Amino acid sequence: MNFVCCIKQVPDTAEVKIDPETNTLMRSGVESISNPYDLVALETALILRDKYGGWVTALSMGPPQAEQVLKEAISLGADAAVLLSDRAFAGADTLATSYTLYKAIRNLDLDRPVDIVLCGKQAIDGDTAQVGPGIATRLGFTQFTSVVEIRELNTYDRHITVKRRVEGGFEIVRGPLPTVITVDLGLARPRRASLPGLILSLRAVIDRWDADAVGAEVPKIGLKGSPTWVRRIFSPPLKEGGPVFDGRKDPVPAVERFLDTIVADEELISELFKNPGV
């Protein structure tokens, strides 16, 4: 089995805020990390490789520093890593990103046919969940999004059975390889790097491919290949808080005043209490 795992380097998002005074971005101390969903994808690939044999290639598109996430992948047990880095890739939206990754996977596929591509369900900075399906559609592979469990991988008849999250529950679905799977956080718990793994990753040479190397058509990559543009960035409008009543010492009057403000909203009350006593 030949696995490819797509990993994105993302800022540790909870830290990014807009300074309300100056309306500029505060990114003090924002670290770059591997997208947590992608680490689950990698773990899944490693588990499957260890069980069925094969080869795991970690793939990332980003600036030269994104090499870091690939070194991490090697330290965790990936067999090879490729960084897609080229100035021409910069500014890519999901359409251009999935195209670039697709071209790279096709390249890998020529070398050694790819059976399973694993991606995180989404990236914590973009949250779009669009790249995985985009890759699957371009490759013409079977697509399973939001996978929470691999039920069975049959390497003889080349089918995979997965459990995936759908509205209102889960679905058990079986389909032919090759496939693109996007994984939910619950699928696996990423391991920690071993010491030999860490040492290996320090010495590892990460292949670097540019637009030429993946054979990408220039109008389809980076900013030029991206239909969507950002027009404006702003802080979410926060409304002002209303009155707060302190009921710690003397709850009864506080609750009374609290309820008064709610009950005063006639329209609300008449809508909610259409059938009093229900």
Partner 1 sequence: MPQNSKGIDVAAIIPDRCIGCQICAGECPVGAIEMSGGVAHIDPEVCIGCGKCFEVCPVEAVSFEPKRPQETPQRIPGVPEDRFSEYRGVAVFIEVTHGQAAPVSWELAGKARELSRRLGTVAIALIAGHELKDVATEALEYGCDEVHVIDDALLGSYLSRLYGKAVTDLTNTVKPEILLMGATALGRDLASVVATNVETGLTADCTGLDIDEEKRLLLMTRPAFGGNIMATIFCENHRPQMSTVRPGVFRPGERKAGRTGAVHHYPFAPPVGEMPEILEFVRDNTGETGLDIGRFPALVVVGKGACDPESMPMIQELADLIGGVVACSRPVVEAGLMPYERQVGQTGKTVAPKLYFAIGVSGAVQHLVGMQGSRRIVAINSDPHAPIFGISDTGLIGDYRDVVPLVIKGLREAVSKR
Ligand X SMILES: Cc1cc2nc3c(=O)[nH]c(=O)nc-3n(C[C@H](O)[C@H](O)[C@H](O)COP(=O)(O)OP(=O)(O)OC[C@H]3O[C@@H](n4cnc5c(N)ncnc54)[C@H](O)[C@@H]3O)c2cc1C
Binding residues for partner 1 restricted to 200-239, rule: CB under 8 A: 222-224, 226-236, 238-239
List the interface residues with ligand X, window 17-36 (CB under 6 A): none
Site size with partner 1, rule: CB under 8 A: 104
Q: From the centroid of its chain, how far is CA 234?
A: 23
Question: In whole angstroms, how close is the CB of 194 to partner 1 at the nearest point?
Answer: 28
Binding mask 41-80 for partner 1 (x = CB under 8 A): ----------------------x-x---------------
The smaller minimum CB distance to ligand X, of residues 83 and 183, is found at 183
Residue 138 touches which member of partner 1, ligand X, none, C-beta under 5-8 Å by kind: partner 1
Residues pairing with 28 in the sheet: none
CA 96/CA 90 separation, integer angstroms:
10
> Does residue 14 interact with ligand X by CB under 6 A?
yes
The smaller minimum CB distance to partner 1, of residues 113 and 251, is found at 251
From first CA to last CA, the distance across the chain in angstroms is 59
| Contacting range for partner 1; rule: CB under 8 A; set: 44-52, 190-198, 203-211, 243-251 | 243-251
CA 259/CA 23 separation, integer angstroms:
37
Please list, in sequence order, all residues whose beta carbon lies within 8 angstroms of the beta carbon of residue 195, skipping any fewer than 6 positions away: none
List the interface residues with partner 1, window 102-121 (CB under 8 A): none
> Does residue 2 interact with partner 1 by CB under 8 A?
no
Instruction: Tell the burial category of 172 from Cβ atoms under 10 Å away from its Cβ (0-12, 13-18, 19+).
Output: exposed
Q: How far is CA 179 from CA 36, 85, 90, 140, 150, in A?
A: 21, 25, 27, 9, 12
Check residue 20 and report its DSSP letter: T
List the interface residues with partner 1, window 73-92 (CB under 8 A): 87-92
List the interface residues with ligand X, window 155-174 (CB under 6 A): none
**Of positions 50, 171, 212, 217, contacts partner 1 by CB under 8 A:** 171
CA 250/CA 253 separation, integer angstroms:
7
Phi-psi region of 126 (alpha: psi -120 to 50; beta: other; left: phi over 0): alpha
The smaller minimum CB distance to ligand X, of residues 124 and 213, is found at 124
Closest CA to 242 of 226, 258, 225, 231: 258
Residue 32 touches which member of partner 1, ligand X, none, C-beta under 5-8 Å by kind: partner 1
**Of positions 21, 111, 157, 271, contacts partner 1 by CB under 8 A:** 271
Binding mask 117-156 for partner 1 (x = CB under 8 A): -------xxxxxxx-xxx-xxx-x-xxxxx----------
**Of positions 30, 95, 124, 200, contacts ligand X by CB under 6 A:** 124
The tally of CA atoms less than 13 A away on the side-chain side of residue 159 is 6
Kindly report the CA angle at 60 between 56 and 66, in degrees rounded to 5?
A: 125
> Does residue 205 interact with ligand X by CB under 6 A?
no
Instruction: Tell the burial category of 245 from Cβ atoms under 10 Å away from its Cβ (0-12, 13-18, 19+).
Output: middle
The smaller minimum CB distance to partner 1, of residues 106 and 165, is found at 165
- Positions touching ligand X (CB under 6 A) are 14, 124
